[in-house]
Amino acid sequence: MKAFTDKFIYKYKLSFIIYKILIQTLTMELNK
Average pLDDT over residues 12-28: 97
pLDDT of amino acid 8 = 93
Reported confidence tier of residue 24, pLDDT bands at 50, 70, 90:
very high
Q: Is residue 3 part of a domain?
A: yes
Alpha carbons 18 and 14: distance in angstroms, whole number: 6
3-state secondary structure at position 32: coil
What domain range includes position 8? 1-27
pLDDT of amino acid 32 = 82
pLDDT of amino acid 2 = 86
How many domains does the chain fold into? 1
Q: Is residue 32 part of a domain?
A: no
Q: Encode burial over 6-28: b for 16+ CB neighbours within 10 A, e otherwise.
A: eeeeeeeeeeeeeeeeeeeeeee
Alpha carbons 23 and 7: distance in angstroms, whole number: 24
Q: Is residue 12 part of a domain?
A: yes
Strand ranges inside 1-32, DSSP E: none
Q: Is residue 21 part of a domain?
A: yes
pLDDT tens digit string along 1-18? 789 899 999 999 999 999
Q: Is residue 1 part of a domain?
A: yes
